[in-house]
Copies of this chain bind each other. A is one copy, B any other.
Amino acid sequence: MKALTGVKPVTIYEVARRAGVSIATVSRALRGSELVAAETLARVRAAADELDFRPSRLGRSLAEGRHAANGIVFPDLVGPYYAEVVLAYEEVASDLGRSVLILATHRRRDAVDRVLELAQRVDGMAIMGNTVDDDTVERIAAAGIPVVLLARPPVGDLDTIRTRNEETAVELAQHIVHHGHRRVVFLGDPDASPDVAGRYLGLSRGLRLARRARPAVVPIELDVEAGEAATRRLLARQPRPDALVCANDEVALGAHLAAEEAGLRVPTDLAITGWDDILGARFAGLTTVRQPMRDLGATAARWLHERLEDPARPVRQQVLPTQLVVRRSCGIHHPEVER
């Protein structure tokens, strides 16, 4: 028997009155305290049900001094990459009984303010890659909000989870060299995010180890259009590059488009590699690097929860493994070709 209560929320007072007890008893009864007589408990429950009472989250949070909510800050949500991270984060957090607030910073200049505002609404938050500067991170942490850093270098003594960029990029470089490519260009902006920086560094190091020239870098956005446009420009130059190492798969797919348009064949005329292993990469036969994105998000949520439970626990920093996925966009003579 649910009473339609209209637009005025039912408060604990009304339940108390209806059950003929005090609000303290209602509170106890509804949150499963031992200190309530069975019969009282039943009366309170009945009253609450009849009124369809749901305790105000605000009142409760204010009294408890906690939000039971987590935040996550990421640069954007285009492409499957961040979506996966955020989803896994939400899934774990939700199962742990915490709501999740999201904030995409894009490159708004008021990103810092928005993050600070977010910090007012959560008990802890995950902060990804290229969103806000270290000062802001430290400021939030100093305010007592647990923070876990995602895909960015450690700041202070904060929990940090990253994926392996540089080492796998070295491996990728070797793979490229192995296929005889010489004029290598990196498409992506190392200054744009720690991830991209690591990938560029690894590529450079790998090429250096193989005594090849340092790669040229074309700092662009990480989307299909930018990859396509940049490649179009590059292919007009002489000599043409013979390998494009792209900072992510979207760029690589854009490069593919431009190559096709120019009548070039991949990998014969031009090798292309990506990063992330999004769904499209598989269908384009793109050699790329697979990242455990769901792990990133899930671990962040779990760690945050554990730190909230025990603020004194030791700091953790982890680098998740990534994996070179060899398909055909680099050359086809390689043994471990994957479909």
Contact = CB atoms under 8 A, between A and B. Distances in A.
A38 interface: no
A104 B87 contact: yes
Nearest to A76: B87
A58 B54 contact: no
Closest CB pairs A-B (n = 5): A83-B83, A7-B144, A77-B87, A280-B280, A57-B120
Contact of A104 (B8, B94, B103): B94
A114 interface: yes
Contacts of A8: 144
B278 A69 contact: no
A99 to B, nearest CB: 6
Nearest to A120: B57
A197 to B, nearest CB: 24
Q: Which of A55, A86, A94 has its CB near the most chain B CB atoms (within 10 A)?
A: A94
A249 to B, nearest CB: 9
B86 A77 contact: yes
A116 interface: yes
A91 B106 contact: yes
Contacts of A142: 4-6
Contacts of A116: 54
Given A54-B116, A57-B121, A90 B103 contact: yes
Interface of A: 4-9, 54-59, 61-62, 67, 69, 76-80, 82-84, 86-87, 90-91, 94, 99-104, 106, 114, 116-121, 142-144, 224, 250, 253, 256, 278-280, 282-284
B102 A56 contact: no
A144 B102 contact: no
B94 A114 contact: yes
A101 B101 CA distance: 4
Contact of A100 (B57, B101, B278): B101
A279 B224 contact: yes
A100 B102 contact: yes
Contacts of A79: 80
A158 to B, nearest CB: 15
Given A54-B116, A78-B84, A280-B282, 12 more contacts: A4-B142, A7-B144, A55-B120, A62-B62, A79-B80, A80-B80, A90-B104, A94-B103, A100-B101, A224-B279, A278-B279, A283-B283
B280 A144 contact: no
A99 B77 contact: no
10 contacts: A5-B142, A7-B143, A55-B120, A62-B62, A77-B86, A78-B84, A90-B102, A94-B114, A224-B279, A280-B280
A78 B84 CA distance: 7
A103 B93 CA distance: 10
A132 to B, nearest CB: 14
Contacts of A82: 83
A301 to B, nearest CB: 13
A284 B278 CA distance: 13
A135 to B, nearest CB: 10
Contacts of A121: 57, 69, 99
Contacts of A87: 76-78, 104
B99 A117 contact: yes
